[in-house]
Chains A and B, each alone.
Chain A
Amino acid sequence: MQRVLDLYNYWIVIFLMMVGFFIVIAHGNLVKKVVGLNIFQTSVFILYISMGKILGGTAPIIESGFTVYSNPLPHVLILTAIVVGVATAALGLALIVRIREAYGTIEEDEILMLDDAP
Chain B
Amino acid sequence: MILRHLPALQVVIPLIAAPACVLLRHPALAWGFSLVVSLVTLAVAILLLVRVMTDGVLSYALGSWAAPWGIEYRVDPVNAFVLLIVAGIGALVLLFAKASVEKEIPRERVSLFYSAYLLCLTGSLGIAITGDAFNLFVFLEISSLSSYILISQGRDRRALTAAFQYLTMGTIGATFFVIGVGLLYMMTGTLNMMDLSQRLPEVATTRTVRAAFAFLTVGIGLKLALFPLHLWLPNAYTYAPSVVTAFLAATATKVAVYVLLRFFFTVFGADFIFRTFPLDEFLMVLAFAGILVASTVALFQPNVKRLLAYSSVAQIGYMILGISFVSATGLTGGVVHLFNHAIMKGGLFLALGCIAYRVGSTEITDLEGIGTEMPWTAGAFVVGGLGLIGIPLTAGFISKWYLILAAIEQGYWHAAAVVVIGSLLAALYVWRVVEVMYFRPRPPGRAPVMEAPLSMLLPTWVFMALTLYFGSNTQLTVGVARQAAIFLLRGAS
Complexed CA–CA distance, A30 and B163 (Å): 12
B179 located at the interface, meaning its Cβ lies under 8 Å from any Cβ of chain A in the complex: yes
Please give me the residue from chain A that is nearest to B167 by CB atom.
Answer: A92
A54 located at the interface, meaning its Cβ lies under 8 Å from any Cβ of chain B in the complex: no
Which B residues touch A96, using CB under 8 A? Answer: 164
In the complex the two chains form, is B167's CB within 8 Å of A98's CB? no
Which B residues touch A64, using CB under 8 A? Answer: none
Q: Which of B137-187 contact A (CB under 8 A)?
A: 137-138, 141, 145, 148-149, 152, 157-158, 160-161, 163-164, 167-168, 171-172, 174-175, 178-179, 182, 185-186
B401 located at the interface, meaning its Cβ lies under 8 Å from any Cβ of chain A in the complex: no
Contacts A95-B148, A99-B160 given; does A51 touch B185 at CB 8 Å: yes
In the complex the two chains form, is A47's CB within 8 Å of B185's CB? no
Which A residues touch B161, using CB under 8 A? Answer: 99, 111, 115
Please give me the residue from chain B that is nearest to A77 by CB atom.
Answer: B134
Please give me the residue from chain B that is nearest to A37 by CB atom.
Answer: B171
Chain A residues with a Cβ closer than 8 Å to the other chain, count:
28
Please give me the residue from chain B that is nearest to A48 by CB atom.
Answer: B182
- Tell me the dominant secondary structure on chain B's binding face: helix
In the complex the two chains form, is B185's CB within 8 Å of A24's CB? no
Candidates A48, A74, A81, A95; contact of B163 at CB < 8 Å: A95
Chain B residues with a Cβ closer than 8 Å to the other chain, count:
25
In the complex the two chains form, is B172's CB within 8 Å of A47's CB? no
Candidates B145, B157, B168; contact of A24 at CB < 8 Å: B168
Contacts A95-B148, A111-B161 given; does A88 touch B172 at CB 8 Å: no
Which A residues touch B138, using CB under 8 A? Answer: 80, 84
The contact string, 1 if C-beta is below 8 Å from chain B, for chain A 31-54, is 001000100110010011001000
Total number of residue pairs linking A and B with CB closer than 8 Å? 67
Complexed CA–CA distance, A77 and B152 (Å): 29
Which A residues touch B186, using CB under 8 A? Answer: 51
Complexed CA–CA distance, A37 and B157 (Å): 23
| B154 CB to nearest A CB, Å | 11
In the complex the two chains form, is A95's CB within 8 Å of B182's CB? no
In the complex the two chains form, is B172's CB within 8 Å of A21's CB? yes
Which B residues touch A77, using CB under 8 A? Answer: 134
In the complex the two chains form, is B185's CB within 8 Å of A98's CB? no
Complexed CA–CA distance, A47 and B175 (Å): 12
**Most chain A C-beta atoms within 10 Å of own C-beta, residue among B141, B148, B171:** B171
In the complex the two chains form, is B171's CB within 8 Å of A44's CB? no
Q: Which of A9-24 contact B (CB under 8 A)?
A: 21, 24
Which B residues touch A74, using CB under 8 A? Answer: 182, 185
Contacts A80-B138, A115-B161 given; does A88 touch B182 at CB 8 Å: no
Contacts A48-B182, A77-B134, A115-B158 given; does A95 touch B171 at CB 8 Å: no
Q: Spell out B's residues near A (CB within 8 Å).
A: 134, 137-138, 141, 145, 148-149, 152, 157-158, 160-161, 163-164, 167-168, 171-172, 174-175, 178-179, 182, 185-186
- 20 more CB-based (< 8 A) A-B contacts, given A88-B171, A99-B157: A40-B171, A41-B171, A44-B178, A47-B182, A48-B182, A81-B137, A84-B141, A88-B145, A91-B145, A91-B149, A92-B164, A92-B168, A95-B160, A95-B163, A95-B167, A99-B160, A99-B161, A99-B164, A115-B158, A115-B161
